Amino acid sequence: MIPAKFDYVRPSSLAEAIQALAGGGDDAKVIAGGQSLLPLLRLRLAYPELLVDIGGLGELTGVRDVGDALVIGAMTTHYSLIRDPLIREHCGLIAATAATVADPAVRHRGTIGGSLAHADPAGDLPAVIAALDGTLTATGPGGEREIAAADFFVDYLTTALAPGEILTAIRVPKLGPGWGYHYEKFQPTAQAWAIVGVAALARRDNGHVAEARIGLTNMGTVPIRARAAEAAAAGVEASRPALAAAAANADEGADPPSDLRAAADYRRHLARVLTGRALAGAAGV
Ligand SMILES: Cc1cc2nc3c(=O)[nH]c(=O)nc-3n(C[C@H](O)[C@H](O)[C@H](O)COP(=O)(O)OP(=O)(O)OC[C@H]3O[C@@H](n4cnc5c(N)ncnc54)[C@H](O)[C@@H]3O)c2cc1C
């Protein structure tokens, strides 16, 4: 289908973009890589009157080292995340997960900011940023504010971004020594969306898992931290059977959907099995 008619601007600075967005009011929308928004426009599930294209804002691309954390520009593409040396060295979970998103064409255009702002429960990066305890920077007419990942995802396709705000950056703490990571994605075919995904981080110490963090994809309307499994994994031997046992309650607190691709019970089963595997991968066993 052909999208409804809209006006289009491509600002050359963040300040201009914020002004354009404010000027368009409720009928204006940001477009980044367009990989999620364009299909919605073509299906006429969204019909903004103004698109503010932030693709020309170089200030929103790339990764910076700020000491104990990395700051990732919202317009950084999945392709760049996979190859970025800072990401690979200090936050490899992001690169490993971005490599599972869609296909090369989508990864070249789609951005981390778009993935997070779109907040699709089946999107892979939201659970990763939740597991990493990331912080998101929103910039609007009133200036900048920081939002913890735990507060950013509010509901299905809904975030804490206020009208007129642009997600400009994502701050993630560097993983220190001893941390390992793994993203386990269950998908019906290669290059498809996750039926369930599990992002796991584990800090190994003396043959045991000292600390674990787990984010679940598509187990509710927002990414979910598997707190029961995190607690169960802390202190256990770094072995596959022990970590599979620790994952037995991985679906606690989740509220997975039943849809044409999977029933809720099946998703719960997957979350438990995949969490065991993801923890084992993160612990290197
Ligand atoms: C065939 C196909 C398969 C896919 N498979 C997967 C998959 O397996 N896993 C996965 O995670 N994703 C998948 N995607 C989605 C892809 O990852 C997109 O890149 C991503 O969801 C959106 O990023 P974008 O930059 O294209 O955002 P856009 O499409 O440009 O925008 C998406 C939404 O976010 C808003 N937005 C974008 N950037 C900002 C910002 N900086 N500030 C405020 N609002 C903003 C827009 O207004 C819009 O509402 C797939 C997409 C396609 C087309």
pLDDT above 90: residue 188 = no
pLDDT above 90: residue 256 = yes
Does residue 216 contact residue 185 with C-beta atoms inside 8 Å? no
CA distances from 47 to 4, 5, 87, 140, 197 (A): 6, 8, 36, 22, 31
pLDDT digits (tens, 9 = 90+) for 111-156: 999 999 999 999 999 999 999 999 999 999 999 999 999 999 999 9
What atom of ligand 1 comes closest to residue 75's alpha carbon?
41
3-state DSSP call for residue 253? coil
What atom of ligand 1 comes closest to residue 39's alpha carbon?
53
196: Cβ contacts below 8 Å, ≥ 6 apart: 186, 216, 217, 218, 219, 256, 262, 267, 270, 271, 274
Q: Which of 8, 36, 38 is the pocket-test mutation for ligand 1 (most atoms within 8 Å of CB)?
A: 36
Q: Which of 115, 120, 156, 183 is the pocket-test mutation for ligand 1 (most atoms within 8 Å of CB)?
A: 115
pLDDT above 90: residue 40 = yes
Sorting pLDDT into bands at 50, 70 and 90, what band is 17?
A: very high
- pLDDT in the model for residue 68: 97
What count of other Cβ atoms lies within 10 Å of the Cβ of residue 115?
A: 25
pLDDT digits (tens, 9 = 90+) for 44-79: 999 899 999 999 999 999 999 999 999 999 999 999
* Beta-strand runs (E) in 12-103: 28-31, 50-53, 63-65, 69-73
Distance 123 CA to ligand 1 centre (A): 8
Distance 126 CA to ligand 1 centre (A): 11
Atom 50, ligand 1: which residue's CA is nearest?
102
Distance 95 CA to ligand 1 centre (A): 16
Distance 96 CA to ligand 1 centre (A): 18
Mean pLDDT of the 231-260 span = 98
pLDDT above 80: residue 1 = no
Atom 3, ligand 1: which residue's CA is nearest?
102
Burial of 46 (0-12, 13-18, 19+ CB in 10 A): middle
What atom of ligand 1 comes closest to residue 32's alpha carbon?
30
Distance 127 CA to ligand 1 centre (A): 15
What atom of ligand 1 comes closest to residue 124's alpha carbon?
11
Separation CA 12–CA 20 (nearest Å): 11
> Which residues, judged by CB distance below 6 Å to any ligand atom, belong to the binding site of ligand 1?
29-37, 54, 74, 101-102, 106, 109-111, 113-115, 117-118, 123-125, 161, 166-167, 193
- pLDDT in the model for residue 3: 87
Distance 34 CA to ligand 1 centre (A): 6
Q: Which of 93, 100, 106 is the pocket-test mutation for ligand 1 (most atoms within 8 Å of CB)?
A: 106
What atom of ligand 1 comes closest to residue 102's alpha carbon?
5
83, two tokens = 């190859």
* Beta-strand runs (E) in 162-246: 166-173, 179-186, 196-205, 208-217, 224-225
